[in-house]
């Protein structure tokens, strides 16, 4: 099994956080994608959508999309479940995970990809107005998460889950667009601070800082 990933990019980082929380180690190759590496035929053969991360199984099956990779890891390593233990929990975790993902993480990514000249090779055409339109959307989404965290210890309720991981990755990533959680969102700030104290999160942040390609 081999994981093609990236140390800083937010979707790969979600898988890094997931693996660190589970305490699962996977042979990983970190792919630099700023010089056309994902457009190479060799990479397109494992992911025609030209995105990281991708998990390649022993039989050659290539699983991309970070949520699909996390689901496979969860099923192979059921201890410390992060996708829920009952039908209702699993549905609520999936709901909040998607809200963090298609909501916040996507909104932050749109600002970054459409307003940063360095992203031009990956995002054509860049539409600056669309990028900027996502900044207030991201702020509105943060406020909804703050409200949820007023009465819940974790994003999807009492237990730590993949929804916390995605929200953490999104807020961490928001530094690239100089977006911080506003002072008045005290629940979210308290949750974020609690997150940074988790050993799994600290281990993942350590991976983010390293520089080797494996």
- Decide whether 32 or 132 has the Cβ nearer to its own copies: 132
- Compute the least distance from the CB of residue 159 to its own copies, in Å: 15
Q: Please count the other Cβ atoms lying within 10 Å of the Cβ belonging to residue 195.
A: 21
Shortest reach from residue 209's CB to its own copies, in Å: 29
Nearer to its own copies among residue 126 and residue 205 (C-beta): 126
Closest by Cα among 150, 153, 139, 144 to 181 = 139
Q: What is the 3-state secondary structure (H, E, C) of 5-45?
A: ECCCCHHHHHHHHHHHHHCCCCCEEECCCCCCHHHCHHHHH
Q: Whole-angstrom Cα distance, residue 154 to residue 84?
A: 13
Instruction: Name which of 24 and 205 has its Cβ closer to its own copies.
Output: 24
Residues that bind its own copies (CB under 8 A): 48-49, 57, 61, 63-65, 67-69, 71-72, 75-76, 87-88, 90-92, 94-95, 98-99, 102-103, 125, 127, 129-130, 133, 144, 147
In the bound state with its own copies, the residue whose beta carbon lies nearer, of 69 and 179, is: 69
We find the least distance from the C-beta atom of residue 59 to its own copies, in angstroms, to be 8
C-beta neighbour count of 30 within 10 angstroms: 21
Count of all residues that appear for the chain in the document: 214
Taking the complex as a whole, how short is the minimal distance between the CB of residue 211 and its own copies, in angstroms?
29
């Amino acid at each position: 099994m081999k994981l093609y990933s990236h140390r800083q990019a937010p979707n790969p980082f979600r898988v890094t956080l997931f693996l660190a929380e589970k305490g699962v180690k996977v042979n990983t190759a970190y792919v630099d994608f700023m010089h056309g590496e994902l457009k190479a035929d060799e990479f397109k053969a494992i992911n025609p959508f030209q995105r990281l991360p991708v998990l390649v199984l022993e039989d050659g099956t290539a699983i991309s999309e970070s949520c699909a990779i996390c689901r496979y890891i969860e099923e192979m390593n059921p201890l410390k479940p992060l996708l829920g233990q009952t039908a209702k929990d699993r549905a609520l975790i999936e709901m909040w995970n998607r809200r963090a993902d298609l909501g916040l993480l996507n909104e932050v990514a749109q600002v970054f990809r459409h307003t940063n000249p360095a992203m031009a090779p990956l995002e054509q055409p860049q539409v600056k107005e669309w990028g900027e339109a996502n900044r207030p959307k991201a702020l509105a989404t943060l406020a909804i998460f703050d409200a949820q965290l007023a009465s819940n210890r974790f994003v999807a309720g009492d237990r730590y889950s993949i929804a916390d991981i995605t929200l953490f990755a999104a807020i961490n990533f928001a530094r690239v667009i100089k977006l911080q959680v506003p002072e008045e969102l005290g629940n979210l700030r308290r949750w974020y601070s609690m997150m940074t104290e988790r050993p799994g999160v600290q281990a993942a942040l350590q991976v983010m800082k390293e520089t080797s390609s494996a």
